[in-house]
A and B are shown apart, each in its own frame.
Chain A
Amino acid sequence: MNRVETGKSTSKGSEGPSVWKGEFAPSMESSSTVKIRPRYGHYIAGGWVAPKAGRYFKTLNPATEEVLCEVAEGSEADVGSAVQAADRAYKDVWSKMSGAERGGYLFRMARLLQERAREFAVLETLDGGKPIKESRDFDLPSACNHLFYYAGWADKLEYAFGKRESRAWGVAGQIIPWNFPLLMAAWKIAPALACGNCVVLKPAETTPLTALLFAEIVEASGLPPGVVNIVTGAGPTGAALVRHPGVKKIAFTGSTEIGKLIAQNSAEFDKRLTLELGGKSAHIIFEDAPIDQAVEGVVQGIFFNQGHVCCAGSRLFVEESISTLFVEKLKRRMETLRVGPPLDKNTDLGAINSKEQLTKIQGLIQRGKEEGALYFETSCKLPDRGYFLRPALFERVSPSATIQREEIFGPVLTVSTFRTPEEAIQKANDTQYGLAAGVWSDKGAKLFEVSRRLKAGVVWANTYNKFDPCSPFGGYFESGWGREGGLHGLYPYREVL
């Protein structure tokens, strides 16, 4: 798995022969395990339903620009029947079931998904463009673990809510993004079901396929029809779900822009929102940090999943005394990153998720250059077709530069320097976001104090981009409302009486 290992002084790519120039022979994962149907309807009340308006849209493989299949475009009527199905399942079956029974289904789903993990990983990579080694070693295990973790909570909720009585909201509407499609589905479905809610899930329009395949897991687990419903579509489908009066609870992961729209549209209704939104997370390197490990951490922090990560460490702050050395080592390490076919097991950075996202990132890079920052990108070859970008960084970035303030959501890092811890903290907190932050130092006391003063929901000290089902995740300020994961991830899914 392409993730940071810390605590030991081994490091790759920074000693000996400085840059690996050899070519790797292709090592393609077979896609024969995956059967994609030519056309998918919505999954409502335990069955496949054609969209009422009869409209479909295409989903592409961003690495080849080939059409994978057609997917139903959800209308207000489709959303209506899904919510109705969820509501009926909630009233007739799910709300009457014991926590242990609900947990039983979740345990089953976790196991069934584990068994078919490779198939899901390949499909995730085909539809979304992420490297197979990440979908295989991160997305799938994490998704299974999330289901398994929350399964065990279902019959222990009285411990989670202390002396307060609580009850499920009923129907939860869940809207998920395209960067970790199946993992986000698991993050949403697992706690909702454990807490006794029924769900209507809307996957992102560019990556609906793993969620639709997950319907088979739902079915195989014997989950009562209507407890999990999946409606596909783009923004208008999501908006219909948010507006629906039968949906008491909304959980959304995506951009701050859309999160704000959802919050505004819910202002007059008594709806509960969990919003996991954007970020512009700071990554601070002190001069006393283990340099080579920190370089690895920075690389993982920004280039993991092509930088399509809400908590990506996209603003690097290096102590001035080591900045020249650090940036040199960082560039050298970046040169070893391989951009290539996502199904190739050697690929470090796969395809950018969509043409739209590619254009957006390119626009921001252009803006960065125009605003006077110093641009660097690696020299690797890009595939001829598909949406690809080289890992890149900007130096001499002003605090007010567009690329320093706006979320790029791509493999682009900004580098700035600082002289004192106070300055580092001040610069790190100079953002409207507050999702995550990273800090590297050999001094324990310094780490504690800096971690405390960084305004972010997750702080990684001497590591970065670590996730676990039992570890709460979520941000301050414009990075959203609420937490997902762990004990704290249960709170949004029950009404405290």
Chain B
Amino acid sequence: MITVAKTHKMFIGGAFVRSESGRTFNVTLAAKSVAKGTPRSRASSAPGAALLAPRTAASAPSATLSVQLGRASGKDLRNAVEAAEKGFGAWQKCSPFLRSQILYRWAEMVEGKREEFSHLIESAILDRHASSSKVQRARDVSAEIRNEVGAEFERGLASLIYFAGFCDKFGQIVGSLNPVSGPFHNVTFPESVGVVAYVGLAGGPPGQPGKSNRSSRNTQATRTTQSTRTTQSTQTTRSGKIHKLSKSGEPSGKLGGSGVGFGELLCDLAAILASGSAVVALIPGARGIFVNTLGEALATSDLPDGAVNLLTGEVEEILPTMASHRRVQALSLPNRGGVLTPGSILVEAKKSAVGNMKRVVGGHRGEESMEHLMEYSEFKTVWHPSAI
């Protein structure tokens, strides 16, 4: 039978669209056999591992699938921001409890696409291993990769459920009734920041794209060691990576690179949605393969159109427009710690974000924590006299 391949599209305003520019770039996926029977978790993978036949993906790299991803233009980004403003309004109208239910439904829809996502995650992981020139011994690597795929998927799913349950709770934790001196009722509570532009670059050091940490404590540990270890040369390498992407003028056609991983991506999007904000996310380079399927899950989650918008393309091309767009209230950049290279694309983005005083956030990306969600919140304080 002839396989029916899927056309990958971006997800803007609840619709599946290709770039208005008509431009695409090519990405290579792993052969499909591997994803089947991906274990639910590390624990259950051990006994199940023996049942799985030696897989073809790692041993026979020729059995791959090529897809064309849309290369978003500045116009696509502006359309997405417009959609996100509408989506934000609709998302705001949902009660926090309803947002909880919708996020949980999103998790249900992601679960339903476990096989498809596992295939995409595996493609990303295989490519990363290839690019880090790790020796691949077919059988061992297969087991290892299978575990990794399962863990990455579970991590993403768990983050959705974690933040689904947070929508109607964080306000009670961080809000306050302030005992002012005087006859006044005075309360402080969080409000959503608005439209968030999210750049799907991984925060970790090169070679570990998408690596992030479940517990907040771990995150800090990593960050601290990172910054203490950071030397001038590694800094250069990091920004060099981005420059490479930009100089070529083409998005990286290879998987991995510095794109965000599946688990972290879901975690970050869920945190933004749980705060009540709307998002325009660019998932750059080859990690854009997640976009179409994620869009399908979102489109069937009762999420208002435009609350999440997913673009594929190139950071160099889209980030400057994101950073300078006046209808965007927050810019989420990967947390790379320490001093950034002057003139690098991230520094230029931070500078241009100052135009409308966007909140530049991202320090807690990948974390299942309230601090992560609070990056996308503002505090409002309301006074009223109290008298008879």
Name the contact of B181 in the complex, choosing from A162, A468, A497 (C-beta under 8 A).
A468
Known: A164-B216, A463-B384. A470 touches B180 (CB 8 A): yes
Expressed in whole angstroms, the Cα–Cα distance for A78 and B217 within the complex equals 39
How far, in Å, is A168 (CB) from chain B's closest CB? 15
Q: B184, B227, B341, B382: which has the most chain A beta carbons within 10 Å? A: B382
Which segment, of A127-135, A231-239, A472-480, faces chain B? A472-480
Please, what's the 1-or-0 string for B354-375, where 1 marks a CB less than 8 Å from any CB in chain A?
Answer: 1111010000000001110000
Let me know if B339 and A472 touch, CB within 8 A: no
- A309 at interface, CB cutoff 8 A: no
Expressed in whole angstroms, the Cα–Cα distance for A268 and B235 within the complex equals 12
- A67 at interface, CB cutoff 8 A: no
Let me know if B354 and A486 touch, CB within 8 A: no
Contacts of B370 in A (CB 8 A): 162
Q: 8 Å CB contacts to B: which residues of A246-273?
A: 256, 259-260, 263-264, 267-270
- A457 at interface, CB cutoff 8 A: yes
Name the contact of B337 in the complex, choosing from A267, A270, A466 (C-beta under 8 A).
A270
Let me know if A461 and B382 touch, CB within 8 A: yes
Contacts of A478 in B (CB 8 A): 356-357
Contacts of A476 in B (CB 8 A): 378
Contacts of A214 in B (CB 8 A): none
Let me know if A270 and B371 touch, CB within 8 A: no
Contacts of A459 in B (CB 8 A): 380-383
Expressed in whole angstroms, the Cα–Cα distance for A483 and B176 within the complex equals 14
Let me know if A457 and B378 touch, CB within 8 A: yes
Known: A468-B178, A470-B180. A458 touches B354 (CB 8 A): no
Expressed in whole angstroms, the Cα–Cα distance for A472 and B339 within the complex equals 31
Q: 8 Å CB contacts to A: which residues of B327-359?
A: 329, 337-342, 344, 347, 350-351, 354-357, 359
Expressed in whole angstroms, the Cα–Cα distance for A430 and B227 within the complex equals 42
Let me know if B380 and A457 touch, CB within 8 A: yes
Contacts of B384 in A (CB 8 A): 447, 461-463
- B186 at interface, CB cutoff 8 A: yes
Let me know if B357 and A7 touch, CB within 8 A: no
Let me know if B180 and A468 touch, CB within 8 A: yes
Let me know if B180 and A471 touch, CB within 8 A: yes
- A50 at interface, CB cutoff 8 A: no
Let me know if A269 and B182 touch, CB within 8 A: no
Known: A432-B356, A468-B182, A471-B381. A268 touches B339 (CB 8 A): yes
Contacts of A56 in B (CB 8 A): none
Let me know if B357 and A486 touch, CB within 8 A: no
Write the chain B residue with the least CB distance to A141.
Answer: B181
Let me know if A457 and B379 touch, CB within 8 A: yes
How far, in Å, is B207 (CB) from chain A's closest CB? 22
Contacts of A277 in B (CB 8 A): 357
- B220 at interface, CB cutoff 8 A: yes
Expressed in whole angstroms, the Cα–Cα distance for A483 and B374 within the complex equals 13
Contacts of A468 in B (CB 8 A): 178, 180-182, 184, 186
Contacts of B184 in A (CB 8 A): 463, 466, 468
- A401 at interface, CB cutoff 8 A: no
Let me know if B357 and A477 touch, CB within 8 A: yes
- B188 at interface, CB cutoff 8 A: yes
Contacts of B378 in A (CB 8 A): 457, 476
- B387 at interface, CB cutoff 8 A: yes
Contacts of A496 in B (CB 8 A): 220, 371
How far, in Å, is A150 (CB) from chain B's closest CB? 14
Write the chain B residue with the least CB distance to A466.
Answer: B383
How far, in Å, is B351 (CB) from chain A's closest CB? 5
- A81 at interface, CB cutoff 8 A: no
- B47 at interface, CB cutoff 8 A: no
Let me know if B381 and A472 touch, CB within 8 A: yes
- B22 at interface, CB cutoff 8 A: no
Expressed in whole angstroms, the Cα–Cα distance for A481 and B193 within the complex equals 12
Name the contact of A456 in the complex, choosing from B188, B356, B380 (C-beta under 8 A).
B380
Please, what's the 1-or-0 string for B179-193, where 1 marks a CB less than 8 Å from any CB in chain A?
Answer: 111111010100000
Let me know if A460 and B383 touch, CB within 8 A: yes
Let me know if A263 and B382 touch, CB within 8 A: no
Write the chain B residue with the least CB distance to A451.
Answer: B382
Let me know if A260 and B354 touch, CB within 8 A: yes
Write the chain A residue with the least CB distance to B357.
Answer: A478
Let me know if B181 and A481 touch, CB within 8 A: no
Expressed in whole angstroms, the Cα–Cα distance for A463 and B383 within the complex equals 8
Q: A456, A471, A473: which has the most chain B beta carbons within 10 Å? A: A471
Let me know if A477 and B329 touch, CB within 8 A: yes
Write the chain A residue with the least CB distance to B359.
Answer: A481
Expressed in whole angstroms, the Cα–Cα distance for A6 and B388 within the complex equals 11
Contacts of B183 in A (CB 8 A): 7
Known: A256-B357, A432-B356, A451-B382. A471 touches B339 (CB 8 A): no
- A69 at interface, CB cutoff 8 A: no
Q: 8 Å CB contacts to B: which residues of A416-451?
A: 432, 447, 451
Let me know if A472 and B182 touch, CB within 8 A: no
How far, in Å, is A348 (CB) from chain B's closest CB? 21
Known: A277-B357, A458-B383, A476-B378. A270 touches B180 (CB 8 A): no
- A488 at interface, CB cutoff 8 A: yes
- A217 at interface, CB cutoff 8 A: no
Please, what's the 1-or-0 string for B55-91, where 1 marks a CB less than 8 Å from any CB in chain A?
Answer: 0000000000000000000000000000000000000
Contacts of A481 in B (CB 8 A): 357, 359
- A8 at interface, CB cutoff 8 A: yes
Expressed in whole angstroms, the Cα–Cα distance for A268 and B216 within the complex equals 25
- A380 at interface, CB cutoff 8 A: no
Contacts of B359 in A (CB 8 A): 481
Contacts of A451 in B (CB 8 A): 380, 382
Contacts of B380 in A (CB 8 A): 451, 456-459
- A197 at interface, CB cutoff 8 A: no
Expressed in whole angstroms, the Cα–Cα distance for A275 and B359 within the complex equals 11
Expressed in whole angstroms, the Cα–Cα distance for A466 and B220 within the complex equals 39
Contacts of A461 in B (CB 8 A): 382-384
Let me know if B338 and A267 touch, CB within 8 A: no
Expressed in whole angstroms, the Cα–Cα distance for A432 and B355 within the complex equals 11
Let me know if B379 and A483 touch, CB within 8 A: yes
Known: A267-B350, A432-B356. A497 touches B220 (CB 8 A): yes
Expressed in whole angstroms, the Cα–Cα distance for A497 and B223 within the complex equals 9
Write the chain B residue with the least CB distance to A454.
Answer: B380
Expressed in whole angstroms, the Cα–Cα distance for A61 and B60 within the complex equals 84
Contacts of B342 in A (CB 8 A): 268
Contacts of B351 in A (CB 8 A): 264, 267
Expressed in whole angstroms, the Cα–Cα distance for A457 and B379 within the complex equals 6
Let me know if B180 and A269 touch, CB within 8 A: no
Contacts of B181 in A (CB 8 A): 145, 468
Q: List 25 A-B contacts (CB under 8 A).
A: A7-B183, A8-B387, A256-B357, A267-B347, A267-B350, A267-B351, A267-B354, A268-B339, A268-B342, A277-B357, A432-B356, A447-B384, A457-B381, A458-B381, A458-B383, A459-B381, A468-B186, A471-B178, A471-B381, A472-B381, A477-B356, A478-B357, A481-B357, A487-B176, A497-B217
Given contact pairs A432-B356, A468-B182, A473-B381, a sample of 8 additional A-B residue pairs in the complex whose CB atoms are under 8 Å apart: A6-B387, A7-B388, A264-B354, A268-B344, A270-B337, A457-B380, A460-B383, A488-B176
6 closest cross-chain pairs (CB), A and B: A7-B387, A468-B180, A267-B350, A7-B385, A6-B385, A478-B357
List the interface of chain A (C-beta within 8 A of B). 6-8, 145, 162, 164-165, 256, 259-260, 263-264, 267-270, 275, 277, 432, 447, 451, 456-463, 466, 468, 470-474, 476-481, 483, 486-488, 496-497
